[in-house]
């Protein structure tokens, strides 16, 4: 914590390399939760709430009051616990307004027309670029930051920016842009917007894959990223970055959870409606993605 910034507590999910956050105003004990993870076992199809419950227990132990439970974007590599925690803690939920564009893409891929343009059915608030709201004594500003997805937003809270999958830790670089709706040039420009924040701004990433087997970490600064990020720093041009990013993305396998995760995350973390036997089912589009 800095004198003008929030207290930030990260929760690392080893299985997916994801980081969820409690972000609290030290003066009032008001907080937001960002990008909580719902557990999922691919072999059995079972979901679990262990990490989300750990977050809820931490909030209770610290006597914090939850104002919002937020997604930064529709995640492709883990399931979202936003709906679960919103219901458990009685807090409204939110995501960027451009989620509608991602829903449109995947409604076609999954042949789920009911998924399209229903953002307000799944989240309480869809945030646009420049929207502001308060968490206790802290102001939150929403920065539209597409590239990894067409819907990604960054939450700027005091001196801390939650940059999801735009930039990772400096030794890990930047996020891929080859998913439907991704765009390497848009990612470059989103990162430049983040790099224009004050140099001491703390940046909190949404993943860490522990290169070289180091300990997991998720906090850096604008100054550190601009000096040392291995993919994009002050010495890399837009054309160089776009060429590198697109070439690298062609070599990457799809995330193992993507086809399961997006069916749930584009519903705000809700499972599909149960069928007549009381069971929810996921669809698997054959020969449609990653061809």
DSSP string, 187-201: HHHHHHHHHTS-TT-
pLDDT on residue 98: 94
Q: For residue 221, how many other CB atoms are within 10 A of its CB?
A: 18
Q: Does residue 21 surpass a pLDDT of 90?
A: yes
Helix intervals (H) in 46-96: 50-61, 82-89
Q: Are 27 and 137 within 8 A, CB to CB? A: yes
Report if residue 289 sits inside a domain: no
3-state secondary structure of 49: coil
- Tokens 């004198």, residue located: 3
Domain count, the chain: 1
Give the pLDDT mean for 239-252. Answer: 96
Return the DSSP state at 207. B
Give the pLDDT mean for 255-273. Answer: 94
Structural domain of 27? 7-265
Put the strands of the sheet holding 79-80 in their side by side order. Answer: 46-48, 37-41, 79-80
Q: Does residue 162 surpass a pLDDT of 50?
A: yes
Q: How confident is the model at residue 33 (pLDDT cuts 50, 70, 90)?
A: very high
| Structure tokens that stand for 76 in this block | 């492709």
Report if residue 118 sits inside a domain: yes
Share of the chain above pLDDT 70, in %: 97
Q: 24: which strand partners?
A: 7, 31
Report if residue 77 sits inside a domain: yes
For residue 212, give the CATH number of its domain.
3.60.15.10
| Structure tokens that stand for 158 in this block | 């005091």
Report if residue 24 sits inside a domain: yes
- Quick check: pTM over 0.85? yes
Highest mean predicted confidence (pLDDT) among 98-102, 163-167, 220-224: 220-224
- The pLDDT tens digits for 35-87 are 999 999 999 999 999 999 999 999 999 999 999 999 999 999 999 999 999 99
Report if residue 271 sits inside a domain: no
Q: 46: which strand partners?
A: 41
Report if residue 203 sits inside a domain: yes
CA distance 190 to 147: 7
- The pLDDT tens digits for 176-205 are 999 999 999 999 999 999 999 999 999 999
pLDDT on residue 113: 85
Q: For residue 46, how many other CB atoms are within 10 A of its CB?
A: 9
Q: How confident is the model at residue 1 (pLDDT cuts 50, 70, 90)?
A: very low
Q: Which of 160, 125, 149, 147 is nearest to 77 (CA)?
A: 149
CA distance 25 to 134: 10
- Residue 7 region, left (φ>0) first, then alpha (ψ -120 to 50), else beta? beta
3-state secondary structure of 26: coil
CA distance 193 to 145: 8
CA distance 45 to 69: 25
Interior angle at CA 49, CA 48 and CA 54, nearest 5: 140
CA distance 121 to 63: 30
pLDDT on residue 115: 81
Report if residue 229 sits inside a domain: yes
Q: How confident is the model at residue 118 (pLDDT cuts 50, 70, 90)?
A: low
pLDDT on residue 289: 84
CA distance 92 to 32: 10
Report if residue 280 sits inside a domain: no
List, in order, residues 6 or more apart from 53 with CB less than 8 Å away. Answer: none
Angle of helix 99-110 relative to helix 258-265, nearest 10 degrees, comes to: 120
Percent of the chain as helix, strand, coil, to the nearest 5: 30, 25, 45
Give the pLDDT mean for 145-167. Answer: 96
């Amino acid at each position: 914590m800095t004198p003008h910034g929030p207290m930030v507590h990260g929760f690392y999910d080893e299985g997916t390399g994801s980081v969820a956050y409690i972000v609290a105003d030290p003066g009032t004990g008001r907080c937001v939760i960002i990008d909580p993870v719902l557990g999922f076992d691919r072999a059995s199809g079972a979901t679990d709430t262990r990490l989300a419950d750990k977050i809820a227990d931490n909030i209770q132990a610290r006597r914090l009051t939850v104002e919002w439970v937020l997604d930064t974007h529709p995640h492709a590599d883990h399931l979202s616990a936003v709906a679960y925690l919103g219901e458990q803690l009685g807090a409204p939920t939110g995501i960027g307004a451009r989620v509608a564009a991602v829903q449109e893409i995947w409604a076609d891929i999954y042949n789920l027309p009911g998924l399209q343009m229903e953002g307000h059915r799944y989240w309480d608030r869809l945030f646009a670029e420049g929207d502001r709201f308060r968490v206790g004594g802290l102001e939150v500003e929403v920065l539209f930051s597409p590239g990894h997805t067409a819907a990604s937003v960054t939450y700027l809270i005091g001196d801390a920016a939650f940059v999801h999958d735009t930039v990772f830790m400096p030794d890990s670089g930047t996020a891929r842009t080859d998913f439907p709706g991704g765009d390497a040039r848009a990612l470059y420009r989103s990162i430049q917007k983040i790099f224009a924040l004050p140099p001491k701004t703390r940046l909190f990433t949404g993943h860490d894959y522990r290169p070289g087997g180091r300990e997991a970490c998720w906090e850096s600064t604008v100054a550190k990223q601009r000096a040392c990020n291995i993919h994009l720093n002050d010495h890399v041009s837009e054309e160089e970055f776009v060429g590198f990013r697109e070439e690298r993305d062609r070599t990457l396998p799809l995330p193992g959870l993507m086809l399961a995760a997006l069916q749930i995350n584009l519903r705000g973390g809700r499972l599909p409606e149960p069928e007549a036997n009381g069971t929810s089912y996921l669809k698997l589009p054959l020969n449609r993605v990653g061809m």
